[in-house]
Amino acid sequence: MAVLIKKHPACDIPSRRFRPFHSLAASIISQQLSAKASDTIEGRVAAAIGTPFTPSAWLNARVEALRGAGLSRAKENYIRGLAERVISGNLQFEKLRKMGDEEAVALLTEMPGVGKWTAEMFLIFCLKRPDVLSLGDAGLQRAAKFLYDSKHGENTLEGVSSIWRPYRSVASWYLWRHLD
C-alpha cells in the first residue's frame, strides 16, 4: 500500500461534491461495465440531459435519448424509480447522510437496481465514509491478489484489509488507481 500511495496522487474522495442523486445514478449506470464503457455511456447521458444528473431532469428526459446514449432499459427504469423516490420524499439524502453504514446500505438496497456494491460505492464516493470496503468488488479482489501475492489464500482482500482500518475506503481508492 505504501508503494501505491507514493505512486499515485492524493486520494480525491474528500474533495468530491455532495451530489447524491448524480452519484447514485452514475453508480447504477456503471454497474457491471468496464470503467471505459461506463464513462462513455455516462458522458452520452450527460449530453442528453445535462450534468449533474437531477431527479427532475431524469424524469423529463426522453426514454429514446437515454436508450440512444447506451443505457439499458433496466438501468433507465431503476434511475427513473430513484428520481421518483427523491421527488416524492420517500428517499431523503440528508437523513441517509446521518445513518450508520449498515443502516444506509440496508435502506439503499431496498430500491430496485441498487445492490450492495452500488450502495457501498455511494457510501465511499458520495457520503465520503472513510472505512467502507466492498469485498464483492472484483477489481479490489484482483488488485489485492496481485499486490499481496495471494499470501492470504482465496480471501486475500479480506485478509489484508484489517490493517487499513479505519481508512479502507482510501485503501480501496489506491487499489482502483493501481488497476487503472
Q: What are the domain boundaries of the chain?
A: 17-125, 134-179
pLDDT of residue 1: 84
Please give the pLDDT value at position 92. 96
Q: How confident is the model at residue 154 (pLDDT cuts 50, 70, 90)?
A: low
Would you place residue 153 in the very low, low, confident or very high pLDDT band (cuts 50, 70, 90)?
Answer: low
Cα distance between residue 153 and residue 83, in whole Å: 42
Chain segment 53-87, per-residue pLDDT in tens: 999 999 999 999 999 999 999 999 999 999 999 99
What per-residue confidence (pLDDT) applies to 116? 95
Mean pLDDT, rounded, of the chain: 92
The total of other beta-carbon atoms located within 10 Å of residue 142's CB is 15
Residue 103: pLDDT band by 50, 70, 90 thresholds? very high
pLDDT at 139 over 80: yes
Helices within 8-155 (DSSP H only): 20-30, 35-49, 55-60, 63-68, 73-88, 93-98, 101-108, 116-125, 138-147
Answer whether 34's CB lies under 8 Å from 107's CB: no
pLDDT of 148: 80
Burial of 59 (0-12, 13-18, 19+ CB in 10 A): middle
Residue 151 pLDDT > 70:
no
Let me know: does 124 contact 169? Beta carbons within 8 Å. Answer: yes
Q: How confident is the model at residue 110 (pLDDT cuts 50, 70, 90)?
A: very high
CATH of domain 17-125: 1.10.340.30
What is the number of residues in the chain? 180
Q: Are 165 and 131 in contact (CB under 8 A)?
A: yes
What is the mean pLDDT of the segment spanning 3-31? 91
| Confidence band of 159 (pLDDT split at 50, 70, 90) | confident
Share of the chain above pLDDT 90, in %: 69
Would you state the pLDDT for residue 34? 84
